[in-house]
Each structure stands twice: as C-alpha cells, then as structure tokens.
C-alpha cells in the first residue's frame, strides 16, 4: 500500500508515519515491539472511531437543518386542457414555462393555485385567454389532483423529493354549460312572466 492509499484511511501524515514505523518494527522485532504494537493499534482505533463520530455528527446536523426549514421551494408549471380533457404543458415562448417560488411550509394548495394564477395570468389575462374562461386546479408531477387544504410541508413529506413540482391546470369553461345556464335563466324569466300574466288575468275577472 502506497502513501496515497494509506491516507484514505489515515488523513494525518503523523499517523501514516507511525504505521510505516510499526511495519519496520515488525521486520526487526525487539523487546518493546509488543508494547509499541499495542499502543499503535489503540491509537489507530481511536483515530478511526473519531472519524466515524465526526461523519455521524455532520449527517445529523444536515438532517436537523433540513427539518428546521420553515420555507420550501416549489416549481410551478402550467397545463392547458381542451374540451376532451387532454392537457398540454405550455412552454416559455407561449407565456408558460416553469416558475420557482419560495413559500412557507404551511402554504396550502388553494393558496398555490392563487399564486400560480397570478404568475401565468398577470392582470387576469394570458396568451391563452382570461381567468373567467377557465376553471383551475393543481396537480402533482404524476398528474394526480391535489387536495386544496393540503400544505406544502405535507406534500414534501409524502413525495420525498428534493424539489417539489406542481402544475396549474386550466380547464376551459364548457360552452354547453354556458348554453344550458342561459336556457335555464330564459325559462325562469318566462315562467315568472307567465305567472304575472295569470295573476293579472285573475284579478281582472274578480
């Protein structure tokens, strides 16, 4: 084993020199060889134990630092759905892309929807339409619908990812729904007018 290989286990040059000296003593044993061997083995054991403890403390410190974070980064994309339910991610050149935000761990999905809508629909308008033309929800990277009351911290705990990515999903308001709503309103108005006419006719006969 050369010096470079030995330093992978013993980073201090003093320990490397001691090991080399010990190896030379083995080739020419003396009365104190046994004592030197015991002392050197104990010293090497203490050095390796200290190195392991140092690594353990560093790992624990990193874990605690992550646990103490009150804010987390979230990457938000934008998907536009058509009437058939097919979604397409909107690219940067069309006003989409991905945006990174730093939010509190207690931020809810509902609040993320509001934030994402403001990002992709500034002043309520985007290259794909206006806010009133769509219904919005939030999905994860796998296309699963996220509950509005779930928090960012809970999403990180569940997904175990380094950077959480979600998508603002814009669903166009159905034209059929608008037509049905308009018909219902017209029918309601007609019904009210008919009742008034009948009421007035009854009053005249009396």
9 contacts 16 by C-beta, under 8 angstroms = no
Instruction: Tell me: pLDDT of 198 over 50.
Output: no
Same domain, 45 and 106: no
Q: Measured between alpha carbons, how far is 96 from 120 in angstroms, rounded to an integer?
A: 7
Would you say residue 42 lies in a domain? Answer: yes
Are residues 90 and 25 located together in one domain of the fold? no
pLDDT band at residue 202 using 50, 70 and 90 as cut-offs = very low
Question: What's the domain count of the chain?
Answer: 2
Q: What is the pLDDT of residues 75-93, one digit of tens each?
A: 999 999 998 889 999 999 8
Domain membership flag for residue 49? yes
Token duo for residue 109 = 């999905």
Whether 21 is covered by a domain: the verdict is yes
Does any domain span residue 106?
Answer: yes
pLDDT at 69: 77
**CA-only gyration radius of the chain, Å:** 36
First to last CA, the chain: 120
Report the share of the chain in percent with pLDDT over 90. 45
Tell me which of 49, 66, 83 is where a domain ends.
Answer: 66
Question: What 8-state DSSP symbol labels residue 151?
Answer: B
Q: Does 202 reside within a domain?
A: no
Residue 200 lies inside a defined structural domain of this protein: no
Spatial distance between the Cα atoms of 23 and 39, rounded to a whole number of angstroms: 14
Residues 97, 141, single domain; the answer is: yes
Question: How does pLDDT run across 28-39, given as a tens digit for each residue?
Answer: 555 555 555 566
User: pLDDT digits over 95-106, tens only?
Assistant: 999 999 999 999
Question: In terms of residue numbers, what domain contains 114?
Answer: 72-173
Model confidence at 174, pLDDT cuts 50, 70, 90, reads confident
Any domain includes 153: yes
């Amino acid at each position: 084993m050369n010096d470079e290989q030995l330093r992978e286990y013993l980073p201090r040059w003093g320990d490397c020199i001691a090991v080399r000296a010990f190896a030379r003593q083995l080739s020419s044993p003396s009365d104190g060889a046994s004592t030197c061997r015991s002392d050197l083995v104990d010293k090497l054991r203490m050095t390796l134990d200290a190195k392991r403890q140092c690594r353990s403390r560093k790992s624990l410190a990193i874990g605690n630092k992550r646990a103490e974070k009150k804010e987390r980064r979230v990457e938000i994309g934008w998907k536009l759905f058509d009437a058939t339910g097919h979604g397409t991610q909107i690219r940067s050149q069309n006003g989409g892309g991905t945006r990174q935000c730093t939010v509190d761990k207690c931020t809810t999905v509902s609040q993320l929807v509001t934030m994402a809508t403001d990002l992709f629909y500034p002043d309520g308008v985007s290259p794909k339409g206006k806010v009133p033309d769509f219904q919005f929800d939030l999905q994860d990277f796998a296309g699963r619908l996220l509950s509005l009351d779930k928090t960012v911290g809970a999403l990180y705990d569940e997904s175990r990812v380094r950077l959480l990515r979600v998508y603002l999903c814009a669903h166009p308001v159905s034209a059929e729904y608008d037509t049905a709503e308009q018909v219902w309103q017209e029918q309601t108005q007609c019904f009210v007018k008919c009742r008034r006419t009948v009421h007035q006719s009854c009053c005249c006969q009396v």
